[in-house]
Chain A
């Protein structure tokens, strides 16, 4: 199966912009989705498709993709954005029906 690689930890100053990346061969064929998870809570979808936000997700969250790398950008990070972020996509290495998650990035807002 494919793998998606994320940096384990990233930090950002309050109000600044941060980019969280996700790398993997599957991303050449499929868009990544992004999930925010706060301690003790279930993940929440924040970005899907080319750059789509579910209802209720602030517009400071955006997504992009190039080659084998997908990125989640938070423009003007807020204290409440401190969380773990996971990417996922379809797994292109098999029957394309499976899914794969990245290892997650812990975002600290300073």
Chain B
């Protein structure tokens, strides 16, 4: 069965960076895009960007351009999302999702606090 397993919760200081991982299993990792979505507490879903695990091509939402980097390691079927210059407003649960959001990871809580 398809599974996306994300890394654990993180606490970061303002200005720092965070890197969240998303390990895929149950399908061919390079066959489907990986999207990243975040959700602040009590708020809606916010799309951040996509990555093609086969080519490494990426596309980022305008809001995050310059601050987000999506990469992958195909040898271990893992996608990564790194967000830099963190501020308190980046406190949220970050999700990876495969393909056209068919399957989702369990989410990773990133807390930005001084």
Contact = CB atoms under 8 A, between A and B. Distances in A.
Interface of A: 1, 33, 35, 37, 42-45, 48, 54, 86, 88, 95, 97-104
Nearest to B33: A97
Interface stretch (B11-19, B73-81, B97-105): B97-105
Given A97-B50, A99-B50, A43 B104 contact: yes
Given A88-B47, A99-B47, A104-B44, A48 B61 contact: no
B106 interface: yes
Contact of B45 (A95, A98, A104): A104
Given A100-B47, A101-B45, A95 B107 contact: no
B47 A48 contact: no
B104 A44 contact: yes
Contacts of A98: 47, 50, 59, 61
A48 B103 CA distance: 12
Nearest to A1: B62
- Give the bracket for the number of chain B residues in contact with chain A: 20 to 34
Q: Which of A35, A43, A103: most chain B Cβ within 10 A?
A: A43
A86 B44 contact: yes
B111 interface: no
Interface of B: 35, 37, 44-47, 50, 59, 61-62, 95, 97, 100-107
A28 B23 CA distance: 35
B90 to A, nearest CB: 17
Contacts of A100: 47
Given A44-B104, A48-B102, 13 more contacts: A1-B61, A33-B100, A33-B101, A42-B104, A43-B45, A43-B101, A43-B104, A88-B45, A98-B50, A98-B61, A100-B47, A101-B45, A102-B44
B101 A35 contact: yes
Nearest to A48: B100
A101 B107 contact: no
B104 to A, nearest CB: 4
A101 B100 contact: no
